[in-house]
A and B are shown apart, each in its own frame.
Chain A
Amino acid sequence: MDVMGNIVYPIAGLLGLYGFVSLASLLWEGIDRKLVARMQRRVGPPLIQPFYDFLKLMSKETIVPNTANYMFRAAPVLALATAIALLAYTPMGFTPILASKGDVIVFIYLLALISFFKIVGAISSGSPYAKIGAAREATIMVSREPAMMLAIFAIMWRLGKLGVDKPFSMGIFYQHNIWEIGTPMSFVGAIILLYVFCVWLASEIEVGFFNIPDAEEEIAEGLLVEYSGRYLALLKLTKALKAYIAASLVVAIFFPWGIAGYFGLTGLSADVVNLLFHTLKVFILLFVVGSVFRAVTGRLKITQAVDFLWKNVFLASLVGSLLLAMEVIM
């Protein structure tokens, strides 16, 4: 067995990615807060404020409630571990480290597992506020994922028809992309699916309409109400990583083009350049879907959000998928 190729390089790559994405995603939070502050005619915090926040939370005393059980302590660690594992399957300007046939299911599973661990951690605290937050998170999760799953399976199936070596792999987007199909119907379908994915991204990172599970003012921080100190720091980091990962998925599906080819780069340097360019695209997408959406809208009620996700977004996903699949089916 090729130890270097199979074990050492992937682990080194994963650690490198983890370091880079942690920095980039926390930096994005700083930029995001700055930009939203400017939109509201405030000066806003410095760009590296999230790093200060993180360090401060890490150094604070951690309080564990009387009523909490072991999952309260385990959940933040498990959630972060899941997010790190997910990095190995996330397309970030190049084919993911552990890309293999069918790994889209692993991607969706791990992404949902992060939320699941957050929910388990919240109910394990024994606080009724956290329990309400957890119930809301679960409701939103069940409502938002089907639209995304339908759309991503339709896209991957359609791209698989163009001929790829590993069908239903996250690396597929760097072989063919959705705009290549080129028929008017598929173009309209792709636009509709872009809408679906943008709303999905907003609900995944819980901004704007979908800032429901942690609603500060109503249920006192909801899910995270009992968390403090180190655990809160870990959860905040997980949230930042998850935002980057979810945005990476949308970027990879709709805007997968790299720039390394123009500079004639190959190998590692090409990957690094593509990663940086990918990060730029992620930031732009997060600006549109995150910052702007957060600045211009308030939150919906939970029932309205569920209605919106099923009646609007899921339907759009259905229509978009059908349009995309049309010329193959007929």
Chain B
Amino acid sequence: MNGHEILPYLIIIPLLGAFSMPIVNLLGRKAREAWAVIITGATLAVGSALFYSVWENKSIIVYTLGAKSPLGQANFPIRIVWEVDLFGAIMVLMVTLVGFLAVVYSLGYMKHDTGLDKYYTLIIILELGMLGIAITGDLFNFYVFLEIMSIASYALVAFRNDTWEGIEAGIKYMFVGSIASAFILLGIALLYGQYGTLTMSYLAVKLAQNPTVTAKVALALFIAGLLFKSGASPVHMWLADAHPAAPSSISAMLSGLVIKIGGIYALARILFSVYGAGMSLRGLYMGDFHPAINLTTVGWVIIIFACITLIVGNAMAVIQNDMKRLLAYSSVGQIGYILLGLGIGLAAYGSQTGEIAMAGAIYHTFNHALMKALLFLIAGVVIHQLGTRDLNELSGLAKTMPKTTFAFLIGAAAIIGMPPLNGFASKWLIYESSAIFNPILGAIAIIGTAFCTAAYVKVLYTFFGRPNERVMKARDPEGSMLWPIIILAVAIVVMGLFPWQISDKVMIPAVKALENQLAYISAVLGGA
């Protein structure tokens, strides 16, 4: 299959779905729900095909909007390009998969709410924004998709606008999120003013030829904005409010996808493909090319934030009594691991340690999307069936909701990193590389895991304890809510059975593709 031909459908289908939703809605509830499932299902099909195509051909797909070549009459790109390498393709697969499951789950979960035509429109737009970020090769296009994603998520966090906490969290998220987006826009404006291009690959060449202070200022703005979007400590506070307040299907997408696409993926793309390109260019042209930044320094900046995030996130998770808040802080903690892998990948750039660390980061991104989506969907089931998320009132849930609690057991074990499940391999790669890179970082990672274990064991203690009266009336949920949970749990177990195969066949090649900026650049510039 030709990935180049199907790539546009990744945007066309959700766009069509979102814009036709108000019309389809006129046909009634069933039509609306069916339409949402069909649209996200088709997107999943396209996403899987795209992933398979990129993985199979080991190529980078470049798609130019409006012409055959991005170059036009000039010798530099003048059009918007989309550029998907293996890293981007993994993100596409992750987004479409979790997005589809979240929509299916919403059928049962959201049926007591009103205004659902807007809900499904927004959730498809959210997916659209994330897919756009993953496939774009243009900096301003990236900003537009980032804003689409962000605005959709502000609206979805505050979707239940009859609750005080939805509004509060939405406002908080929106105010600080807009500032973060403004940072990113300012960074893009600075780069454009300095270098006169917005295409990432061409910008990488320009940056390497002429690294300036402006570029560094822009990078600082990017890092600040994107660390906010990824929920890194000390700017994680929006996350701990937004995730509990949002409907659970949205929490699953926020925690599983938004913080990774809008934060981790964008950060890795900008740092590796745009700013880090000087090294490989110098090797090719023997000319006066420098990396625009000192990768080691930036790596250490990210590592420092990663360590703070690891400890703060996981430690705060231990003391929560609110189930979704606990999961939200745990997400912060897990973002710490991913950032740690990313930071070491930069600081040890070009060495095998760096490669392993980055592979661990990408792998953990994918795994955590599955695990955290699973856990948030379960939290949603609990809220839906019992109307509370206070852990003190949920004692003995295993008695009356056996399937749900068993899935939780799997998710919790995976997130702690127990061996037969998928979280083990990805965390192991991060532990191993951090211990080789700097043993202190390894120790910090272990401490974070100890806190994480304590947090989840606490929840398990509650779930498997003596049932209280409130819990005795609960039941396992209906099929549309249960099946996404089962699918995610099975995915976690199956991925856990082949950890090193996945790592060698998918994650390591993804890192190699990310570190091979020359291929990324020449795919657009045609070797120029």
Contacts and interface: CB of A to CB of B under 8 A. Distances in A.
Interface of A: 67-71, 106, 109, 120, 123-124, 126-128, 131, 138
A-B pairs, top 9 by smallest CB distance, nearest first, are A69-B398, A126-B466, A69-B399, A124-B464, A123-B464, A70-B402, A67-B466, A123-B465, A71-B464
Given A123-B465, A126-B467, A131-B465, A69 B396 contact: yes
A126 B402 contact: no
A67 B460 contact: no
B464 A120 contact: yes
Contact of A120 (B396, B418, B460, B466): B460
B464 A67 contact: no
Contacts of B405: 69
Contacts of A70: 398, 402, 406
A69 B406 CA distance: 11
25 contacts: A67-B396, A67-B399, A67-B466, A67-B467, A68-B399, A69-B398, A69-B402, A69-B467, A70-B398, A70-B402, A71-B464, A109-B418, A109-B419, A120-B460, A120-B464, A123-B461, A123-B465, A124-B464, A126-B396, A126-B399, A126-B465, A126-B467, A128-B466, A131-B465, A131-B466
Interface of B: 396, 398-399, 402, 405-406, 418-419, 457, 460-461, 464-467
Contacts of B467: 67, 69, 126
A109 B460 CA distance: 19
Nearest to B460: A120
B327 to A, nearest CB: 21
Contacts, number: 37
A124 B467 CA distance: 9
Contacts of A127: 466
Contacts of A131: 465-466
Contacts of A69: 396, 398-399, 402, 405, 464, 467
A70 B418 CA distance: 21
Contacts of A124: 398, 464
A70 B403 CA distance: 10
A146 to B, nearest CB: 11
A11 to B, nearest CB: 18
A126 B399 CA distance: 10
Given A109-B419, A123-B465, 10 more contacts: A67-B466, A69-B405, A69-B464, A69-B467, A106-B419, A120-B464, A123-B464, A124-B464, A126-B396, A126-B466
Contacts of A71: 398, 464
B196 to A, nearest CB: 53
Contacts of B465: 123, 126, 131
A70 B401 CA distance: 10
B378 to A, nearest CB: 16
A126 B396 CA distance: 8
Contacts of B457: 138
A161 B450 CA distance: 30
A131 B461 CA distance: 9
B357 to A, nearest CB: 19
Nearest to A110: B419
Contacts of A126: 396, 399, 465-467
Nearest to B454: A142
A131 B395 CA distance: 13
B320 to A, nearest CB: 20
Nearest to A68: B399
Nearest to A113: B418
A178 B398 CA distance: 47
